[in-house]
């Protein structure tokens, strides 16, 4: 999970419509059947770099939503592994089309029981947000965990956030492990430079950053 600069510059038709919405009086959220749904998703994927806002699992190539694919501030229906998520589920009912509350996330972590909970700390577009302030990464099991120097209350709260956001969801952990291990192994034995690894990496950027440091220290 990395900081996201959530500019709304591509989906201009949605922006125009959105800016005229009355607070706490949004039209009913109707998911993918709404005329702006795919424009919102495409704009978000553009600012998210084609990956899930929380897990950084790849959802589409960034080229899929590049500026040349837009027509008059709108984006046509398209296929990707992602779904639109309301970060704060309480806002869904009356402010269901609020841009600030939207992220595109991997389908497998969009679990209703999980996503109906309140995430208290890990919102990736919070100004100054840095995941390393909160979480650490275990390179043996490829899971995120609360930093051990935080106080217990915050740790418990972060354990909830990790759970609700699906950061250690089984599917994601397996994908992350299988995706990163070749890079980390090559880095460990110096058959790949850090620059080369980063240029080839297309998902799980934060996990790589956290893991590679530990991997390189293994043999010292």
Report the residue number, 6 or 147, with the smaller CB distance to another protein. Answer: 147
Report the residue number, 26 or 114, with the smaller CB distance to another protein. Answer: 114
For 10, 69, 98, 168, 199, the CA distances from 87, given in Å and listed in that order, are 21, 27, 10, 17, 30
Q: Report, in Å, the least distance between residue 80 CB and another protein.
A: 12
Q: Report, in Å, the least distance between residue 171 CB and another protein.
A: 4
CA distance 156 to 94: 30
For binding to another protein (CB under 8 A), which residues are involved? 79, 108, 111, 114, 136, 138, 141, 143-146, 148-149, 155, 159, 162-163, 168-171, 173-175
Report the residue number, 134 or 183, with the smaller CB distance to another protein. Answer: 134
Q: Report, in Å, the least distance between residue 163 CB and another protein.
A: 5
Q: What angle do CA 79, 84, 85 make, to 5 degrees?
A: 150
Q: With contact defined as beta carbons under 8 Å apart, do 142 and 169 qualify?
A: no
CA distance 45 to 106: 11
Q: Report, in Å, the least distance between residue 95 CB and another protein.
A: 28
């Amino acid at each position: 999970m990395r900081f996201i600069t959530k500019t709304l510059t591509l989906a201009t038709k949605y922006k125009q419509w959105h800016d005229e919405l009355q607070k706490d009086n949004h039209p009913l959220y109707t998911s993918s059947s709404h005329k702006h749904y795919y424009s919102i998703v495409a704009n978000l994927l553009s600012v998210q770099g084609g990956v899930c806002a929380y897990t950084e699992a790849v959802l589409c190539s960034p080229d899929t939503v590049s500026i040349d694919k837009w027509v008059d501030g709108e984006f046509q229906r398209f296929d990707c592994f992602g779904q639109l998520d309301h970060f704060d589920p309480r806002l869904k009912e009356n402010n269901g089309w609020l841009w600030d509350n939207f992220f595109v996330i991997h389908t497998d972590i969009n679990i209703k029981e999980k996503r109906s909970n309140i995430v208290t700390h890990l919102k990736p577009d919070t100004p100054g947000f840095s995941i390393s302030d909160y979480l650490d990464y275990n390179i043996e099991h490829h899971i995120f965990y609360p930093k051990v120097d935080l106080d217990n209350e915050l740790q418990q709260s972060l354990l909830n956030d990790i759970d609700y956001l699906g950061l250690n969801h089984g599917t994601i952990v397996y994908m992350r492990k299988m995706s990163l291990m070749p890079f980390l192994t090559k880095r460990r034995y110096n058959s790949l430079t850090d620059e080369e690894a980063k240029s080839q990496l297309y998902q799980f950027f934060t996990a790589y950053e956290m893991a590679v440091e530990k991997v390189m220290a293994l043999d010292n």
